[in-house]
A and B are shown apart, each in its own frame.
Chain A
Amino acid sequence: MKREFPMLITVIAGLGYLLFYFIPHWPFNLIGEMFQSWVIVISAFAILLGVGSLIKVHGDRISRKTEGWPYSIILLSGVFITAILGIWKGVDVGTPFDYIFRYFYSPMGSTMFSLLAFFIASAAFRAFRAQSREATMLLVAAFFVMLGRVPIGELIWEGFPKIASWLMNFPTTAGQRAIMIGAALGVVSTSIKILIGIDKSYLGGD
């Protein structure tokens, strides 16, 4: 019961959606649309589960006074203040939630990602040492794409934008297509394995 019933739910949900796609008429259209709406609700609860888990982990850290526990208080304050203000006062422009978004969330997010500019520079140095033919190709492609996509590249040599465009339109497109087709076939085969009950890893242990 602990495993069989969830597997049945998986099959009903997956086949329900597939039937809705291939037979978009009553009653499958209603079932498909209803299932799509349900999955939005359940996915919202999945995010709440993630936040609940975060609260649990940091609540434990505070109660056990493990190393760095004061930072957990800051984290939990951030969670509760933002969530409560957002739920209570709304998320529209001019609300306290919007203030938090503009002066806390957005600057910290941008700064965190911009921090990677410094670390990616050292990664680039390692990658760009061109120790093999493949690394050289990566180096050359990155070099031309970067110089071809900024105004200074065109000022140095007008051929840079043309080479960058050609690299993007042909070899890069070919590589991306190979990855996309390969990944798509992999996802489809995994999905079929889940629906016919071969892959049960999502059910976990016991």
Chain B
Amino acid sequence: MVTNLAIVLPANSDNIGIWIAAFLTLCIYSFLYKDNPFYKFAEYLFVGVSAGYWVARQYHNSLIPNLWNKLVIDHNFLYIIPGLLGIMMLMRLIPGVAWISRWAISFVVGMSAGINIIANLQGNAIAQIRGSIVPLWSGDILTSIYNWVLLIGVVCGLMYFFFSIEHKGFFGGVSRVGIWFLMVSFGASFGYTIMARISLLIGRMQFLLGDWLQVIRM
């Protein structure tokens, strides 16, 4: 009997962590049959552990170096202001004084707006427009055709997002070509998403069959 158990249980069965991870993995996959208490258990535990994970991470990565150390080690008392604004943000949880959180939210929104103007103009709009200005005759017929495809795709795609003119007639045709390019783009993204999910699934199967049951070698 003991010999049989030794065959059933893998060598690293003493590693409780692997057993826990395998149990939680199977709990989540049980949802493929239907919603059940095992799945719900893992789902709620995942949400709770995720929230706790981010609390600990923010404490060590943001609050200690950027607030505590600045106040206590550097004696930079200007950092009382973000500390107070942070506490004001937590006032959102108290209904009577929830409005106080607006001060902190306003600071974050204002900063985000300032950063977004620069980052989006520089990093997205201008960089992408610059990247789209390509030679339409490069000396090589194929390269030239491909560059035309790129330019037509960008212009027609942008036309599709221009809603100040009704999409009919010539403009409607141009925006329709834009939709085709967007669809190809979405198709490629969809393909990549499927591949990423399948890759995660393979990873979990390798864990279950390799790390846990040890029926496959990696």
> B113 to A10, Cβ gap below 8 A?
yes
Interface string of B124-148 (1 = CB under 8 A from A): 1100110110000000000000100
Instruction: Give the residue of B47, B79, B107, B194 whose beta carbon is less than 8 angstroms from that of A39.
Output: B107
- What is the CB-to-nearest-CB distance from A44 to chain B, in angstroms, rounded to a whole number? 4
- What is the CB-to-nearest-CB distance from B45 to chain A, in angstroms, rounded to a whole number? 5
A115 interface hit (Cβ, 8 Å): yes
> A184 to B157, Cβ gap below 8 A?
no
> A41 to B82, Cβ gap below 8 A?
yes
> B188 to A168, Cβ gap below 8 A?
yes
Cα distance A203–B105 in the bound complex, in angstroms: 8
Cα distance A16–B81 in the bound complex, in angstroms: 16
Chain A residues 167-199 with CB under 8 Å of chain B are 167-185, 187-188, 190-192, 194-195
- What is the CB-to-nearest-CB distance from B176 to chain A, in angstroms, rounded to a whole number? 9
Chain B, Cβ-Cβ closest to A139: B187
Interface string of B155-166 (1 = CB under 8 A from A): 011101100000
Could you say which residues of chain A place their CB within 8 Å of the CB of B40?
A: 68, 71
> A86 to B195, Cβ gap below 8 A?
no
Instruction: Give the residue of A146, A174, A187 whose beta carbon is less than 8 angstroms from that of B157.
Output: A174
| Interface residues of chain A: helix, strand, loop or mixed (majority) | helix
> B161 to A34, Cβ gap below 8 A?
no
> A42 to B85, Cβ gap below 8 A?
yes
Could you say which residues of chain B place their CB within 8 Å of the CB of A185?
A: 120, 125
> A52 to B45, Cβ gap below 8 A?
no
> A141 to B187, Cβ gap below 8 A?
yes
* Size category, B interface: 35 or more
With contacts defined as CB atoms under 8 Å apart, how many contacts are there between chain A and chain B in the complex?
A: 407
Could you say which residues of chain A place their CB within 8 Å of the CB of B60?
A: 86-87, 90-91
Could you say which residues of chain A place their CB within 8 Å of the CB of B86?
A: 41-42, 44-45, 48
| Chain A CB within 10 Å, residue with most, of B43, B191, B198 | B191
> B114 to A46, Cβ gap below 8 A?
no
Chain B residues 165-191 with CB under 8 Å of chain A are 178-191
| Known contacts A91-B57, A188-B120, A141 near B183 by CB under 8 Å | yes
> A145 to B79, Cβ gap below 8 A?
no
Cα distance A191–B108 in the bound complex, in angstroms: 12
With A103-B18, A170-B146, A172-B189 given, name 5 new contacts (CB 8 A): A10-B110, A13-B106, A18-B117, A117-B194, A174-B152
Could you tell me which B residues sit within 8 Å of A by CB distance? 17-18, 20-21, 24-25, 28-29, 31-32, 40-60, 62-63, 66-67, 70, 78-79, 81-83, 85-87, 89-90, 92-93, 99, 101-118, 120-121, 123-125, 128-129, 131-132, 146, 149-154, 156-158, 160-161, 178-195, 197-198, 200-201, 203-204, 207
Could you tell me which A residues sit within 8 Å of B by CB distance? 2-3, 5-7, 9-18, 21, 34-54, 56, 68, 71-72, 74-87, 90-91, 97, 99-118, 120-121, 124, 127, 133-135, 137-146, 149-150, 166-185, 187-188, 190-192, 194-195, 202-204, 206
A–B pairs, 7, beta carbons within 8 Å: A39-B82, A49-B92, A78-B49, A83-B56, A117-B197, A138-B184, A178-B157
Q: Which 7 A-B pairs have the closest CB atoms?
A: A86-B56, A78-B48, A174-B153, A178-B157, A175-B185, A82-B52, A141-B187
